Amino acid sequence: MRWWAILLILLALPLRAQDTGERVVAALSQNNVAINATFVGSEILVFGAIRREAPVPPDELGVIVTIQGPSGPLTVHRRERVAGIWVNTDWLEVHEAPSFYAVATTAPLESILTEEEDQQHAISVPRAIRASGTAAEDVPAFTEALIRIRADQGLYQQLDGAVSVDHDTLFRTRITLPSNLTEGTYLTRIFLMRGGEVIDVEEAAIHVQKVGLERLLFVMAHDRPLLYGLLALVVAVAAGWGASALFRFARG
């Protein structure tokens, strides 16, 4: 079914109770992503419309779309050169950091989102990370380093101006999921903004899962680590023996 046909269905849905004037209805081009040996990434189309029962408000309209992957803890280290050797001199315990996070907006994020709303809804990338360090003043530096590293890997994306809006009603954006995804549920949130405040939120889920041989190896490594280790050893021995036999055959 084409995206515009889905959009017509969404527009036909009844308004929610206690309507305050504007509501966002949205859909995704796909809700399931399969990771196999040839997976090189996937592109998600997020589209929708704004429903109204009153004239268009005078405040500037904004739409923010976020996609957040499974979160988990990690430790970020700071390395410094001491006596000619690189050593870890400080650390930051990150209690919760998304494995993937993308923010697409109609305009620069700071121009359509207030600090208070960002704190309440955890929309920006730094707000999605919960951390504590050896000193409070060090936390922003470590957080910025983590964001920079994952941004270079395509895992954290700030896409200002990537959401297009037609006639203050229809919107759409495309967000690319890289090949190095973590398996799990990816939460998609669509925020309708007016005057820097969140007017309405719509949520949807994207399920990312390994399939085929990749799924078998993943499950075995987590559920049966001993069997996985033995299998890996057998494969390594067989590969070594095969390479040795091929070398002897080539020599004559």
pLDDT of 59-98, one tens digit each?
888 999 999 999 988 888 776 666 667 666 677 788 889 9
Q: Check whether residue 170 and residue 63 sit in a common domain.
A: yes
Above 80 in pLDDT, residue 112? Answer: yes
Is 74 among the domain residues?
no
Q: Check whether residue 173 and residue 226 sit in a common domain.
A: no
pLDDT of 196-232, one tens digit each?
999 999 999 999 987 655 555 555 555 666 655 666 6
Is 77 among the domain residues?
no
The Cα 186–Cα 99 span in angstroms is 10
Give the model's pLDDT for residue 16: 43
For residue 61, the enclosing domain spans 3-69+99-123+137-210
Q: Check whether residue 13 and residue 107 sit in a common domain.
A: yes
Q: Check whether residue 202 and residue 246 sit in a common domain.
A: no
Q: Check whether residue 237 and residue 227 sit in a common domain.
A: yes
Q: Check whether residue 189 and residue 64 sit in a common domain.
A: yes
pLDDT of 11-23, one tens digit each?
555 444 334 478 9
Domain CATH number, residue 12: 2.60.40.3880
Q: Check whether residue 107 and residue 189 sit in a common domain.
A: yes
Q: What does the mean pLDDT of the chain come to?
A: 80
Q: Check whether residue 29 and residue 154 sit in a common domain.
A: yes
SS3 content of the chain, % helix, strand, coil (to 5): 30, 40, 25
Q: Residue 247, Cβ neighbours under 10 Å: how many?
A: 9
Question: Could you give the number of structural domains in the chain?
Answer: 2
Give the model's pLDDT for residue 18: 39
pLDDT of 113-123, one tens digit each?
999 999 999 99
Q: Which residues of 79-108 are buried (b: 16+ CB within 10 A; e: fewer)?
A: eeeeeeeeeeeeebebeebbbbbbbbbbbe
Give the model's pLDDT for residue 76: 81
Q: Under a CB-based contact definition with an 8 Å cutoff, are residues 41 and 177 in contact?
A: yes
